[in-house]
Amino acid sequence: MIHYIGFYNEPGDIDERKPLKSFASTEKMNYIASILSRKNKVRIISPGFSTFNSIFKEKRVKKRKFEVIYLSACGDGKDALTIKKIIWGAREIKNYITKFVEVDDKIIFYSTPAMWLFLRNTLMRYEWILELEEIYYYDKSKINPIRYAYKLLENDAIRNSKKIIYVSETLKKKVGKDGIVVYGPFESCEEDEKIVNHGRIDKSINVLYTGSIDKVRGAFTLAEAFAQISEKRSFQDKIKVCFVGYFHGKHAYDQRKEFTTILEFINRNGIEALFKENLSSEEIQEEIRSSDICVMPQKINCRFSEYSFPSKLPRYLSYGKLVVSSAIKPVMESPFKKFIIPYYSDELESLIDALVKSFESFSSEKFSVQNKELRDELKMIISNQEKVLLDFFEYWCTIVIGKCILFKRYKKQLY
């Protein structure tokens, strides 16, 4: 069995806990678990952090391809990941590992430096792999004492891991340790015809943003771009823009107010702007299907963007969508570079120019042809990535079983 430990929260699973949001990690874990479940029994283990001031019992949820266990949680009434939540969650994960992980099982640990601090000694007794989605101490431009502690913890986890699942080639080159690259959640391209023929009654151009609603990942920049476009009224087509995501952190309330004000301005000027949150995976899939253009406006001049990768990119492309993306290094060094409309500056005008270009490209015959070519090439990329992931674990499994056999023989010789 593969025990997949990470910050997972599928909307609808534990709403009674008013859980902390974890959109990106949940989507990535869903994808990896689904692929691995083809040849392995997979169980996702989540601390299920709660923001209520209450204690919640363990909850098991059966998915189509794997099982999820939300461990018992002790909320403290705060909308942030606090020391109390971390200590409680780490204790529950330790108990789970001790009770349920067999000697020939495998563990994937989705990198969280604060959790590594408490789980290090426990994980080191088992066969485990580190999943590295970003370099956390790069989240901020300045390294304060907390960031420095994160750096030490993250480097310790990397140093002690035997293999790593990386989010991008850029990150793999930076770390320089053996492992494989899994870019992000693809949807099955077996649904090509369904994607192409997914029609709708209205004739508008539908633009979509999914993910965290914050300044670094660019949701505010995109909203401000549409505010300017709507104010100039320099468009002929009917345009809709939908933001699917969540607010987080200690400034979430103020950010929500500011963001809502921008959307109200856009709506008054003739562009329909919507915000949707707490959508399930199926609902997000439907939003992507219904969209025409997907935008990834992550800040370029930002330390966070140097070694993180927006895993939603391959997902958008697998649906044959036109993608506008900031030219961050991990994207431009990925195999998806040629499929996007990039822009190279954090200046608002640069994004606006790319959006206008995407509106023009969407209606052209060239884009219709590109869709078919794009999906054909993506089939190969998807197939290769999934094969690498499965082969990686099959090889690892062979090594683990071999070690177990040798260990059992050694025990027999002792007695």
For the segment 135-161, what is each residue's pLDDT rounded down to a tens digit? 876 655 566 777 788 889 999 999 999
In the numeric block, the tokens 């399930």 are attached to 280
Q: How far apart are CA 103 and CA 407, in angstroms?
A: 10
For the segment 171-181, what is each residue's pLDDT rounded down to a tens digit? 999 999 999 99
Asked which of 248-262, 334-348, 361-375 is least confident by mean pLDDT, the reply is 361-375
The pTM assigned to this predicted structure is 0.86
Higher per-residue pLDDT: 245 or 414: 245
Residue 234 three-state SS: coil
Per the CB < 8 A criterion, the answer to whether 75 and 52 are in contact is: yes
Domains of the chain: 2-181 (3.40.50.2000), 189-369 (3.40.50.2000)
What does the chain come to in residues? 415
Average the pLDDT over 275-279 and give the result.
89
67-70/272-276 β-pairing: unpaired
Give the pLDDT band of residue 40 (cuts 50, 70, 90): very high
Rg (CA), the chain: 22
Ranked by mean pLDDT, which of 235-239, 265-269, 304-308 comes out on top? 265-269
For the segment 297-351, what is each residue's pLDDT rounded down to a tens digit? 999 988 888 888 998 999 999 888 999 999 999 999 999 998 899 999 999 999 9
For the segment 46-77, what is each residue's pLDDT rounded down to a tens digit? 999 999 999 999 999 999 999 999 999 999 99
Q: How far apart are CA 166 and CA 261, in angstroms?
A: 38
Asked which of 24-33, 194-203, 308-317, 345-354 is least confident by mean pLDDT, the reply is 194-203
Average pLDDT across the chain, whole number: 86
Beta bridge mates, 108 = 4, 129
Percent of residues, the chain, with pLDDT higher than 70: 87
Give the pLDDT band of residue 204 (cuts 50, 70, 90): confident
69 CA to centre of own chain: 19
Q: Is 157 exposed, middle or buried (0-12, 13-18, 19+ CB in 10 A)?
A: buried
For the segment 70-118, what is each residue's pLDDT rounded down to a tens digit? 999 999 998 888 999 999 999 999 999 999 999 889 999 999 898 999 9
Higher per-residue pLDDT: 203 or 415: 203
Checking if the pLDDT of 414 tops 50, the result is no
> What's the pLDDT score for residue 140?
57
Q: Which residues contact 258 (CB under 8 A, 6 or more apart)?
A: 220
Cα torsion at 188, 193, 196, 202 (round to 10°)? -110
CB atoms within 10 A of CB 224: 18
CB atoms within 10 A of CB 118: 15
Structure tokens at 316: 């958008």
Closest CA to 385 of 199, 169, 195, 137: 169
> What's the pLDDT score for residue 124?
94
